[in-house]
Amino acid sequence: MDGNGRVARLVSHAQLLHLLDTGGTWSVARGLARQEQEYKAHLMACDNQRRNDLDGRGNLSQEALIAFTKFFLLVCIDQVEFMGKLIEPNNLRNRVLRWTGRQSEAGLLPQNSVVLIQAVLFKGELTRQEAPFLLGVTDRQTRRVTSALVEKGLLTSQTDKTPFKLAFPASLASQWMPGLFPAS
């Protein structure tokens, strides 16, 4: 009631970020939010008085703290496994390519979009000289495709001379990374 849950999440996130050097790839806060009632019950139980002489040495229940710690670590493991599956390269590539293919079929992206996205996924970047060769079209037609992909936020390039790289637009998070954020 007094904000201890928020403090616990904030301190836990900061400590895990620092100790595990994950670069923020996953967060225990997501897992705790998914099990909010159980999390709050464990957290409140940590304020219970000790039950007997076998329940720790201080005023508060050591058993409740142990149960909370076990719950917390299981949530951490669950989130690591979730993110591992979500960002596994083959699964991520397949989701991105399926989405791009559906958009092309629906006429929302140029037909050759999948070819360029697949090349960027495979190589990490795509030079402007490689793009017309991959598409088998003129430079002008290539610019039309790449411009559409940049405009939609799928590709990015620092200048009009540097290679294209894949972007991860927030608007596509629910399609490319399902389950990561609540659907809006």
Among 179, 176, 180, 174, CA closest to 166: 176
Q: Which residue has the higher pLDDT, 87 or 62?
A: 62
Q: Which residue has the higher pLDDT, 107 or 9?
A: 107
Q: Please, which pLDDT band fits residue 183 given cuts at 50, 70 and 90?
A: low
Average pLDDT, the chain: 85
Q: Which residue has the higher pLDDT, 167 or 12?
A: 167
Whether 166 maps to a domain, the answer reads yes
> What DSSP character marks residue 171?
G
Q: How far apart are CA 4 and CA 26, in angstroms?
A: 22
Among 149, 159, 76, CA closest to 118: 149
Contact between 166 and 154 (Cβ < 8 Å): yes
Q: Please, which pLDDT band fits residue 10 given cuts at 50, 70 and 90?
A: confident
- List beta partners, residue 165: 156
**pLDDT in the model for residue 92:** 87
Whether 34 maps to a domain, the answer reads yes
> Quick one: 71 and 94 in the same domain?
no
What is the rounded end-to-end Cα distance, in angstroms, of the chain? 28
Q: How far apart are CA 31 and CA 71, in angstroms?
A: 11
> Quick one: 38 and 105 in the same domain?
no
Whether 130 maps to a domain, the answer reads yes
Whether 47 maps to a domain, the answer reads yes
Q: Domain range for residue 22?
A: 4-86
Place of tokens 């397949």: 94
Q: How far apart are CA 7 and CA 83, in angstroms?
A: 24
Whether 126 maps to a domain, the answer reads yes
Q: What is the pLDDT of residues 30-57, one digit of tens each?
A: 888 888 899 889 988 887 778 777 776 7
> Quick one: 82 and 113 in the same domain?
no
Contact between 28 and 16 (Cβ < 8 Å): yes
Structurally, the chain folds into a number of domains equal to 2
CATH number of the structural domain spanning residue 122: 1.10.10.10
Q: How far apart are CA 84 and CA 91, in angstroms?
A: 10
Contact between 28 and 79 (Cβ < 8 Å): yes
Question: Which amino acid, one-letter code, is at 122?
Answer: F
> Quick one: 152 and 95 in the same domain?
yes
- As given in the structure block, the two tokens for residue 13 are 């996130």
Among 148, 160, 153, CA closest to 96: 153
Q: Please, which pLDDT band fits residue 126 given cuts at 50, 70 and 90?
A: very high
> Quick one: 100 and 67 in the same domain?
no
Q: What is the pLDDT of residues 67-110, one digit of tens each?
A: 999 999 999 999 888 888 887 788 889 999 999 999 999 999 99
Q: Is residue 19's pLDDT more than 90? A: no
Helix (H, G, I), strand (E, B) or coil at 121: helix
Global pTM reads 0.63
> Quick one: 97 and 18 in the same domain?
no
